[in-house]
Amino acid sequence: MPADLQEKTDRYERMLADALAEAESRPPAETPLGEAAAECREMAESYLDDGRHFRETGDPVNALAAFSYGYGWLDAGVRMGLFAVPEDTDLFTT
């Protein structure tokens, strides 16, 4: 695997895992917005799992794509106000 693909795949996996650890749902869970936050988190977690599966099976291109999509779900949730994140983080585009 080319070194730049390896590095980027590693970086995006770390970014997604770190973003999942940092993002906290803002709306109450039993509200429609709380359900939307839960769905965004579930999608991001699923893409993290998928990316790790692709990586284990020797498919770094799809691993990178999965990590990127998962990160996009979380980042969109942050921008819509579904998640609270620390102000000093550089993980999101707030």
**Structural domain includes residue 41:** yes
**Structural domain includes residue 90:** no
Range of the domain at 72: 29-85
Give me the number of domains the chain comprises: 1
What whole-number distance in Å separates Cα of residue 92 and Cα of residue 13?
15
**Structural domain includes residue 8:** no
Contact between 44 and 71 under an 8 Å Cβ cutoff? The reply is: yes
What whole-number distance in Å separates Cα of residue 19 and Cα of residue 24?
10
**Structural domain includes residue 10:** no
* 47-57 exposure pattern, b = at least 16 Cβ within 10 A, e = fewer: bbebbeebbee
**Structural domain includes residue 7:** no
**Structural domain includes residue 9:** no
pLDDT in tens, the chain (94 residues): 567 999 999 999 999 999 999 999 999 999 999 999 999 999 999 999 999 999 999 999 999 999 999 999 999 999 899 998 877 776 766 5
Q: What is the pTM of this model?
A: 0.88
**Structural domain includes residue 66:** yes
